Structure 1
């Protein structure tokens, strides 16, 4: 929960600072152009896709957050998964707060994005949290075969799959 709270707080603080101090028509260029602070309001999802579906994205975000809280957190027994789910909750909650409380209205609010790398979409801290969560989840679930509960999945070899196929034949 500490990761979720810290990530959400950092997201909300940076969005407030960006909204109050950045001019959308005059981006700040840092580190020789490696980073631009370009304020935009995004009604869509990643890469501004689905701009007309803001209420749908808000509902999906709320459902995802509830799923993590109700289904995954009670099963949580692994530190890596705790960090991953903390990042996920921070990212989803950060953008959901924007969709609920920002203009033009409840569940239609636009997400504040302000960080831009060369040749990449403009994003925010919540987006970074979601990406960190996704990377950790792939590492834990796919490469390390560890469940949320801390159990190791059995790796199936080619022989295991063949034996399973033989047993399932009539």
Structure 2
């Protein structure tokens, strides 16, 4: 190690410099792949084991299993415009990949990976499930009372969004300004 390198290292350590964090994209993609596998596997299991419309209570009336094929969004809204949800899902997945390529840090990797995995899981249903390519119904089976029936992909999206909010709250305005100046987006 040369004197200049050693001096720079000591200077960095005395200034409290953080070690360089890795890009979020590789970890984001790994988390997303795991999420898609879990989502698609759970949907295949639900379709194989549950009869459409029947409800199996797990926690009384609060939570159960009930297989439905949803052509719309949450609460079956927009069931006549399934292709729009396919387009929105593809754009959301692309946006998450773009953000992950620019960010650094494990917290962002996990949050973005969960959102990407959930979006991709439901997008796969839209692309490949009946009635037609890019207009398929999403397989839902997690019944939350009488409110909504969702799936594992929905759970991953919600968890990812909560983590994104926590990440944003954790980095205050001062840190955001410093990150913009240094190019670090942990």
Q: What TM-score do the two structures reach when normalised by structure 1?
A: 0.82
Equivalent pair of 1:140/1:146 in contact (CA under 8 Å): no
Equivalent residue of 2:86, what SS? Answer: helix
Task: Please tell me whether Structure 1 or Structure 2 has the larger radius of gyration of its CA atoms.
Answer: 2
**1:10 corresponds to which of 38, 57, 79:** 38
Q: Which runs of 5+ in 1 are unaligned?
A: 156-170
1:59 aligned residue: 87
Q: Which runs of 5+ in 2 are unaligned?
A: 1-28, 179-186
Equivalent pair of 2:100/2:108 in contact (CA under 8 Å): no
Aligned residues between the structures: 150
Equivalent-residue separation in structure 1 for 2:56 and 2:67 (angstroms): 9
Equivalent residue of 2:67, what SS? Answer: strand
Equivalent residue of 2:150, what SS? Answer: coil
Residues 54-86 of structure 1, C-alpha deviations (whole Å, 9 max, x = no match): 1011011111111222x2122121211100000
Q: For 1:12-51, list aligned pairs within 5 A.
A: 12-51=40-79
Equivalent residue of 1:153, what SS? Answer: helix
Equivalent-residue separation in structure 2 for 1:62 and 1:146 (angstroms): 31
Give how far 1:48 is off.
Answer: 1.0
Residues 109-144 of structure 1, C-alpha deviations (whole Å, 9 max, x = no match): 000000012242000000001101110111111x11
Equivalent pair of 1:116/1:122 in contact (CA under 8 Å): yes
Give how far 1:2 is off.
Answer: 2.5
2:175 aligned residue: 152
RMSD: 1.9
1:133 aligned residue: 160
1:168 aligned residue: none
Equivalent residue of 2:141, what SS? Answer: strand
